[in-house]
Amino acid sequence: MKRRNAFLAAFGFAGRGIWQALRSQRNLRVHVSVGLFVSGLAWLLNFSRLDWAFAIGAMALVLGLELINSAVEAVVDLASPEYHRLAREAKDTAAGAVLIAAMASVAIGLVIYAPRLQHLPDYFMVRWQENPILLIVWCLALSVGYLVLWALVPDRHQSEGGQNRPGGTP
């Protein structure tokens, strides 16, 4: 029984970490916002299972690396509260990993979204004729998601962190 509780508790710890990162990391909220938008667009464009797999994989890679980047920044700020060149390099390198994943996800997106975008009005009308209520709910859900993500979630009292931030003290 104790093992099972520890296993379940691990999910709680992970959830708390994601929640804290959403509250304190603007870039994570940007990536989640883009993910919500492209997921809605993928639904509207009637993606195949394979297209969904690529889109979800790209989003998961970017979000996962953004969480790792946040963890690296927190550990570096804890270990080196004063400016240090190696601390800055660690933070910049972690941010670079997110940038590479984001650029790759844009490339994947161009490959699977671009051919369909010229037919977006047609896809919209098909979805509207199939189930207008579902399309309205989809638009409302996206709107509520953005409201929660940008107005209710951020911790406005959180400091920006230690000295070793990219673009900070040289």
Nearest to 153 by CA among 71, 36, 8, 38: 36
Cβ(51)–Cβ(149) below 8 Å: no
Give me the residue label for tokens 């297209």. Answer: 51
Active site residue 66: yes
Residue-wise DSSP of the chain:
-HHHHHHHHHHHHHHHHHHHHHHH-HHHHHHHHHHHHHHHHHHHTT--HHHHHHHHHHHHHHHHHHHHHHHHHHHHHHH--S--HHHHHHHHHHHHHHHHHHHHHHHHHHHHHHHHHTTHHHHHHHHHHH-HHHHHHHHHHHHHHHHIIIIIS--TT-----S--TTS--
Active site residues: 66
